[in-house]
Structure formats: structure tokens, C-alpha cells
A = this chain, B = another copy of it.
């Protein structure tokens, strides 16, 4: 199956629908919570190889925090989402490290391109302590953990794979864990810069805006990788396919039943459209016009969530 989304939650829904599964997929466990009417938290647990194969993602926990109407979020809303993020982060970090272990926070993406700027923007607001512990300990409370942070840039502006940069820095800085802020591809426009997926299985390449990236994970970096992924992209072909389905449904309602239309619906439209659009040589991304407001609020949430958890 080709999911065209990096979100475990969406993959689960797609897999269930495609295979007419009513209950839960074997190897998958799900748990849902709400915090008020605007925040919903869903944990998708991939428990064995069967689940791994079904969703195409490694065994592990994938927590999604969905926020409604983030564009118009008040200061209180932002604070509440940040607290939720921080609690989930702490939970995951406690599995891997102690309270005094070194952490490196990495913001992927490109500051010069708004729809790809979340990572670098979050890094600007992370409370860095590693150098203060050495040079200005008088401004810190006792027992503060060393936190460092970097925005390595993107392949197109550095010429260097993020993996190469991080491997080098980790060899020298020797953190115990990496927290990566990353952009994801989703299938739903509503999730763009409005949802957060937290996992500790690293980043599988191919996702998000910058798809030339090589895997960042314990296997390639040598230490655990916690990924805070935020959907930033819906592929143009995904939008097109959904539009065709919407259109066909509309035609069918009008025309009652129609054999040919049913045929159309089952075809592999994605590949055909993807190829047709690709001939134009550009990578198209679809983004809401309000992307700058959304990123402003989301960047504040992620930075606070991380700072609170450290």
C-alpha cells in the first residue's frame, strides 16, 4: 500500500477502510483522549511485526495531538496544547534517559521558506543551557540538564545531507538523545501546521517537504531519536485524487448508478496523476494561505512544549 501520509493515525484509518476492518488491525492498539473541545490526543501503538507491516512504520508508539482552529488560538489554547505536548514528551524521554542527561534538539527545514520554516523557528525559542553550565552557571538553577540545539539547514542550501551533519555533531557533542522537529506529509489539509505526532522510532525518509533526507534514527545516529513531526504538506496529487473522488460521487448522485463511474473510482488514479503533474518538473506542495499564522502559533507550542519537558 502507498499511504502518502507520514502520520500513523491516518495510515491506520486508510488501512482499515481499504481492508474493511471494523475493529482494530491486528498488531495495532489505539487509545483516544480529549482535552476540552479543541484538543484531541490519539495514541497508535504498533505492537508487533504484523502491525509494522500493515502501517509500514516501525514498532513503537505514535502519539498525535490534533488542535482545532489553531489560526485563531488564544494564548490559553496555545499553553494547553504545549502542556499536552510536554507531558507526552516527558513520558517518552523517561524511557530512554535520566533527568540530567544531555539533549540535542534539531530543527529541520529552511528558514527562508515559510511552509518549511517550523524547525528553525522552534530552535530560536529553545532554552539552551549547555554553554551556560560552562560559562555562566550563576544564571541557572542547580541540576539543570545540558541542552544544545541546531538548525542544520536543508540539502539545497548546504549541499550536505542532514544525516552527515548530525553524525559529526553527535560525535563531538555526545548528547544522550536527539529530539528532531520535522515536517510531515499528511492527507488532510486540516492537519497542516495544526497536528503534532510524537514518536521515538526516528524519522523514516521520504516524508514532509524535503524528501531527499536520509533516515535519522538510533541505527544511523547511535542514540535514540525522538521525532516531533508536524504535517506541513499535502501533495498536489493527493488533493487531485480526492477531488476526483468527490467529483465522481457528485456525478453518481446525479446519474444514479453508473458502471463506468464505478470503474473510475477503483482505478489507481494516484500514479497516473502523479506522473502527469511530474512532467511539469516542479515539486508541487499545497498549503493553506494562512500558513504563516499557523506556523507562528505551532512554533510557539512546540518550543514551549519542549522547554517545559526539559
Residues 133-171 of A, flagged 1 when their CB comes within 8 A of B and 0 if not, give: 001000100000011111111011111110011011111
Chain B residue with the shortest CB-CB distance to A149: B158
Give the shortest distance, in Å, between A149 (CB) and chain B (any CB): 6
- Docked pose: A244 CA to B149 CA in angstroms: 42
Inter-chain contact B251/A267, CB cutoff 8 Å: yes
**Contacts A260-B261, A289-B284: A173 and B146 contacting too (C-beta < 8 A)?**
no
A222-242: contact bitstring with B at CB < 8 Å (1 yes, 0 no)?
000000000000001101110
Which 5 residue pairs across A and B have the least CB separation, nearest first?
A168-B168, A130-B159, A240-B243, A148-B159, A282-B288
Q: Is A285 at the interface (CB under 8 A from chain B)?
A: yes
> Do A169 and B159 touch (CB < 8 A)?
no
Contacts of A288 in B (CB 8 A): 282-285
Known contacts A135-B212, A149-B158; is-contact A244 B244 (Cβ 8 Å): yes
Closest chain B residue to A190, Cβ basis: B280
The prevalent SS among residues of A at the interface is: helix
- Our pick among B153, B246, B277 for the contact of A273 (Cβ within 8 Å) is B246
A286: contacting residue among B273, B284, B292, CB under 8 A: B284
CA gap between A236 and B288 in the complex, in Å:
10
State the copy count for this chain.
4
Give every chain B residue within 8 A of A267 (Cβ-Cβ).
251
Are A167 and B172 in contact, with the CB atoms below 8 A?
yes
The B-contacting residues of A in range 108-147, CB under 8 angstroms, are 110-115, 117, 123-124, 128-132, 135, 139, 146-147
By a CB distance below 8 angstroms, the chain B residues around A240 are 239-240, 243-244
* Of the residues B151, B165, B251, contact of A264 by C-beta under 8 Å: B251
Q: Kindly list chain B residues whose C-beta atoms are within 8 Å of the C-beta of A114.
A: 112-115, 117
Is residue A218 contacting chain B, with contact meaning CB distance below 8 A?
A: no
- Flag if B292 contacts A269 (CB, 8 Å): no
A232 to chain B, nearest CB (A): 11
B-chain residues with CB within 8 Å of residue A172 when the two chains form the complex: 160, 164-165, 167-168
Name the B residues within 8 Å of A284 (CB-CB). Answer: 189, 239, 286-289
